[in-house]
Amino acid sequence: MISTVKKGIVAVAEILHLKLFQHEMSDQMRKFLRHLSWSILGGISASAVMMAVNIIAGRLMGPDEYGKYSLLLTLAQMIIIPMLFGLDVSTVIAISKSEGIQEKRSNISSSLYFVIVSGLILSILFIISSPYLSRWSSMGMTFYNTVFIFAIVTGLKNILDSFIRGLHLFKYQFYGKIGEVVFVSLSFFLFFGLEKKHDYFNYILSLGVGIFFLIVYYLKRILPYLSSFDVESLKKQLSLAKILVIGTVLGIGFNSIDKLIVAKYLSLVDLGIYSAYYMVSINLVAQLIQMFINVFLPSISGIDNDNFVKKIDKVYSLGFLPVFISLVGIIFVAIKLFGDKYGLNFGLVISFSLLSTLQIYLTINSTIITAISKETYKRYLLYLNSVNFIHIIVYILMIVFHAVSVQLILILYIINVIILIIIQKRLIRTSFAQITNTIKYD
């Protein structure tokens, strides 16, 4: 059954490719699509079930508890940054480029040992600082203990997932995602259905059960690749990772500001409502586009021409309006399912749909820039943070003049993304032109 669906996806893609580009696929493209079909199957299945679970959880918890859940995820993402230190991306590239089994082992082992040690260091720092955190915050230590533990196990899952992607084990990853969803669903039914515990803690606990399964499942495949620690392998990965981590720190920090502003200057209830819209639009798109990036990043690492970029541009331009309209429908239905407490705001529906559609292109372009070269990524990072810095100044003015509103935050984000896409396209064109000239003269 799965094999038939997978073949069907590839067959449809080949027909569309021929109609769009007037020539048959290359062998490299067919290989990419075979891997992508596994990613799509796993991603769509997991996303559909998890979206249903998330909507039910949000409906049962209400905006206040859902706001706490959103705040917990935001803080956990910040802790994951120093734990992974950008290795979740650089490792994928390093493993994909590895020429032999020993080089793969060195890259995998060095990254995993680094992440485990950084997790232990963070644990010690958290234990030392927890008494001060307890006195400083009104959320309580149960909340912050949950944040930290969830961040550590999620960070470990993320680095193991990077290894699986780098090794191109997309079929294995597919079954892992299905298993994770099954465990989350069963745990959710136990805590929310049988025990009637409708709060953020039990929802996080349900997600944690699925993450724990996936860690064990991935480790089973990764263990044969573990060898001694290789300093040189780690240095090479950290050479790119230290640049990536700067982008990640600033990126996650910037992308968390909106939620922190809503929680601080509006309320946790408003954060819960904002997060519901966010989950069924931007988060949903992020999960779906990750299915593509999952295979796309390992596949384009080392490519020295922009033919694939032109194809992506054409597909995106043709798909923009259908995707936007589809998202309007999805958000409308999803918010109705969340319940009356979340309210249906057509301005938010349109804004989140437009922002999500633009985010698809932004994410794909960012991945291309990451794969081109470290120098190109550095240049992009400079532009990115310059735009974000101006954005933050506008946030400050918004707070000073008591003009904080969810709608205004979304308008600012849409403008930000449009500017960044324009910058990305110029960088990509310039970088590939330089690569072409270098090859020509060599």
The pLDDT of residue 20: 45
DSSP state of 55: H
Please answer whether residues 328 and 350 qualify as being in contact, where contact means their C-beta atoms are separated by less than 8 angstroms: yes
Please answer whether residues 172 and 38 qualify as being in contact, where contact means their C-beta atoms are separated by less than 8 angstroms: no
The pLDDT of residue 303: 56
Q: Where are the alpha helices (DSSP H) in 85-189?
A: 87-97, 101-136, 141-166, 170-188
Q: At what angle do helices 268-278 and 231-265 cross, to 10 degrees?
A: 120
Structural domain total, the chain: 1
Nearest Cα residue to 66 out of 54, 80, 51, 77: 54
- Within 10 angstroms of residue 350's Cβ, the number of other Cβ atoms is 15
Question: Can you give the residue range of the structural domain that contains 299?
Answer: 2-441
Nearest Cα residue to 359 out of 324, 390, 329, 332: 324
d(CA 253, CA 330): 28
- Within 10 angstroms of residue 396's Cβ, the number of other Cβ atoms is 9
Spell out a b/e string for 366-390, using b for 16 or more CB atoms within 10 Å of the CB, else e. bbbbbbbeeebbeebbebbbebbee
d(CA 342, CA 261): 19
DSSP state of 301: T
**What residues have CB less than 8 Å from 339, skipping those under 6 apart?**
58, 59
Nearest Cα residue to 238 out of 102, 410, 398, 118: 118
The pLDDT of residue 233: 78
Per-residue pLDDT of the chain (442 residues; tens, 9 = 90+): 545 545 554 554 455 444 544 445 555 555 555 555 655 666 677 778 888 999 999 999 999 999 999 989 888 988 888 888 778 877 887 887 777 888 888 888 888 998 999 999 999 988 888 777 766 666 778 888 899 999 999 999 999 998 998 888 878 888 898 899 999 999 999 999 887 888 999 999 999 999 999 999 999 999 998 887 777 777 777 776 566 666 666 666 677 788 889 988 988 899 999 999 999 999 888 877 877 676 565 555 555 556 677 778 888 898 999 999 999 999 999 999 998 889 889 999 999 999 999 999 998 888 888 777 778 888 888 898 899 889 999 999 999 999 999 999 999 999 999 999 999 999 888 887 776 555 444 4
Residue 192: both structure tokens together: 């929310």
Residue 35: both structure tokens together: 């891997």
DSSP state of 167: T
Whole-structure pTM value: 0.75
d(CA 317, CA 300): 21
d(CA 97, CA 168): 11
The upper half-sphere exposure of residue 165, i.e. CA atoms within 13 Å in the direction of its Cβ, equals: 28
Nearest Cα residue to 420 out of 381, 372, 368: 381
DSSP state of 24: P
Tell me if residue 197 falls in helix, strand or coil: coil
The pLDDT of residue 393: 92
Terminal-to-terminal C-alpha distance of the chain: 50
